[in-house]
């Protein structure tokens, strides 16, 4: 496991779906996630909660555990109606974790480890 990605989890799903299907799922996930994350400042809190809830579960398929954990923290902060001063830094950290995890997973599919 790297800091950002649990390669064992990623391999487990790759064994289930096969490498080609995983690449296809990865590209779909990546396209949707990148588009959704670009637009967070235009979403209300309920839309953000639903977004991060969805990202949390789908990110786990690709072993993106650190990002998924942050998504859960963001979702919890929204449910608990924490102020923006607490929520915004979590979202910013989430974007950083997402970028780091994406880099690792992309290299996994490019390299075929």
45 inside domain = yes
| pLDDT higher than 70, residue 23 | yes
43 inside domain = yes
| pLDDT higher than 50, residue 113 | no
33 inside domain = yes
In the structure encoding, which two tokens stand for residue 16, read together?
């289930």
Per the structure, the complete domain to which residue 81 belongs is given by: 7-111
2 inside domain = no
90 inside domain = yes
Cβ count within 10 A of residue 60: 18
pLDDT, tens digit (0-9, with 9 covering 90-100), for 64-82: 999 999 999 999 999 999 9
Q: What was the pLDDT predicted at 111?
A: 53
89 inside domain = yes
Between the alpha carbon of residue 69 and those of residues 21, 42, 81, the distances in Å are 25, 23, 18
pTM here is 0.88
In the structure encoding, which two tokens stand for residue 84, read together?
């923006």
Mean of pLDDT values over 3-9: 87
Number of domains in the chain: 1
């Amino acid at each position: 496991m790297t800091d950002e990605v649990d390669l064992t989890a990623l391999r487990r799903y790759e064994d289930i779906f096969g490498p080609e299907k995983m690449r296809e799922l990865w590209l779909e996930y990546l396209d949707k996630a990148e588009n959704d994350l670009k637009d967070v400042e235009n979403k209300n809190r309920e839309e953000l909660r639903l977004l991060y809830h969805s990202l949390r579960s789908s990110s786990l398929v690709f072993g993106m555990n650190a990002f998924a954990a942050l998504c859960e923290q963001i979702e919890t902060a929204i449910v608990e109606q924490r102020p923006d001063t607490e929520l915004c830094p979590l979202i910013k950290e989430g974007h950083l974790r997402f970028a780091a995890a994406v880099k690792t997973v992309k290299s996994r599919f490019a390299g075929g480890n």
